[in-house]
Amino acid sequence: MTDRPLILACPLPRTLPLLFAPDLLRGLFDRYDVIETTDDALPHLPPDTLREARYVIGQPPLTPDLLARMESLRCIFNVESNLLPNMPYEDAFARGIHVVTTGAVFAEPVAEIGLGFALSLARNIHGADADFRAGREQWGGEGNAAARLLTGSTVGILGMGMLGQAVARVLGGFRPRLLAHDPWQAPSVTRALGAEPVDLSTLLSQSETLFVTAAVTSENQGFLGAETFAKMPKGAALILLSRAGVVDFDALIEAVRSGHIQAASDVFPEEPLPLDHPVRSLPGFLLSAHRAGALDIAFKRMGEMVMEDLALLDRDLPPQVCRRAERETVARFRSKPVTTN
């Protein structure tokens, strides 16, 4: 062991080469002692290693006892993106240990594909392409019987965190009437982001296109159900971008099957989705295999963020690039950990 700061790296399902471009990866190993481990192996590392570890890249499960043995720990870099209920956050905060996430890198890629979903549902781009290939295309206005414009329409965003804010930005050129509902956000902050803060009922009843970008929490698991979808205007589009845990997925399928709404989703209750799952053959439901944010440029940005904040922490400054977990909300998150990149 040298006098360089010690990093324990257990970023599964990520890998260090996935997160760090070659030059940054060389810099990481030049500036730090890096021990690559796994969630299961970390508790069994030598006591001196645990005691001297200053940083963790990953968010392995930590018991109060294990965290207590990591006497030099300064920061946990969550590169999975979801803050998981797998560690004693209060103990970490009491010791001044930062818990940060690089999840903001996914906001713009996911928002962009969400915009694509919204346009395709509004203009039936995917359906028109399939019809053309099958020789049943409808020319001109005949193919636009149910089409509508996104420009100037009323668009809702449920959840104005980093992803919701990115959705608001990509929608700017379409000049929508932008509504938003986020019970964790002050109304003045929502207005500053360019949206009109409204209650959930108003959001549902007035949005022609609704982007669901809320994280799964202990307070909203499955809260979007049959009654919720019934409040939406007929023909409205629901774009599910965050996590499937915020919706009753069976009820969403039924709302689409009935013809009341359209939907698109990049996330599902079970991933991979069984081959016989009914949503696979459901017209009016646009499907994407949890690929919206999985771009190499996003993963490499994670490594850049970690390196920038490591440099600050080495100078006894707080992290500024990664997003810090908040004491008041972190224990409420309930997203399932990802298993694929």
Choosing from 123, 169, 260, 290, which is the catalytic residue?
290
Nearest-angstrom CA–CA distance, 254 and 259: 9
Alpha helices in the chain (DSSP H): 16-19, 22-31, 47-52, 64-69, 89-94, 107-123, 125-133, 162-170, 187-192, 200-206, 226-230, 249-257, 296-314
Nearest-angstrom CA–CA distance, 286 and 271: 16
Choosing from 227, 271, 280, 291, which is the catalytic residue?
271
For 58, list phi and psi in degrees, rounded to 5: 130, 175
Residue 22 tokens, joined: 């070659």
Q: Which residues, including other chains, have CB under 8 Å from residue 274's CB and lie 6 or more apart? A: none
Choosing from 54, 181, 243, 301, which is the catalytic residue?
243
290 has catalytic annotation: yes
Query: In which residue are the tokens 């100078």 written?
Result: 315
52 has catalytic annotation: no
271 has catalytic annotation: yes
Q: Which residues, including other chains, have CB under 8 Å from residue 318's CB and lie 6 or more apart? A: 98, 312, 324
Q: Which residues are catalytic?
A: 243, 271, 290
